[in-house]
Amino acid sequence: MIPEDVLKIVAEKLENCGIAYMIVGSFASNIHGKPRTTHDADMVIEIDEPSLEKFVQALGNDFYFDVEAARDAIRSNFMCNALHYDTGFKIDFFIRKNKAFALSEFERREINDLLGHPCWFATAEDTILAKLEWSKMGESERQFNDAVNIAKVQGANLDFTYLQRWAVDLHVENLLNRLLEEIKPIE
């Protein structure tokens, strides 16, 4: 079983429990840009405690999942994770925040194919912005390079007005400008 299989299984379980989600991070970057290896997956979820109980039951014995940590994550709007026993593959669940960008990002999510199953993913623009935010917080070139690769692959399909608007709000306009310089065609 490959990581994509595990992610697909978790997406199906979330859907069956009526829990809205979107795949973000490296898996979203891989869909929109140049694929690279990753050792875990990130998902943003909208969940409450009754839905959590259904989800725990749906995960069954195939995953390690700390229910108390998940309850704390819901209360604090933070994160929790699940670990697939057979593969050791980890999925981090980020509780969707009520900030303007998080709401916009979740509203704009789109369906993409994951091993023949339609799954919700962050858009290319929102993945770029999130990668720039992570790059700024951790000064990570890998995150920045993921954003650049998405921009190179997506090219003119990107909504540059949207990118510039949110870059200002997220305080990543310098990184977006640097990204735009890197993807500018050489004349």
Per domain, the residue ranges of the chain are: 3-122, 125-183
Cα–Cα dist 126/79, whole Å? 19
Tokens 């998902």 locate to 43
Q: Give me the torsion for CA of 87, 28, 42, 182, rounded to 10°.
A: 110
Reported as type and span, the H/E element at residue 22 is strand 20-24
What is the value of pTM for the model shown?
0.90
pLDDT of residue 77: 85
* pLDDT of amino acid 92: 95
Cβ proximity of 73 and 80 under 8 Å:
yes
pLDDT value for 35: 86
Q: What is the pLDDT, as a whole number, of residue 187?
A: 46
Enumerate residues 6+ apart whose C-beta is below 8 A from 177. none
- Which CATH number is 3-122 given? 3.30.460.40
Mean pLDDT by 10 residues, the chain (187 residues): 90 95 94 86 92 91 92 89 93 93 95 92 96 84 91 93 95 94 72
Q: Which of 177, 143, 4, 178 is nearest to 87 (CA)?
A: 4
95 with 73: CB under 8 angstroms? yes
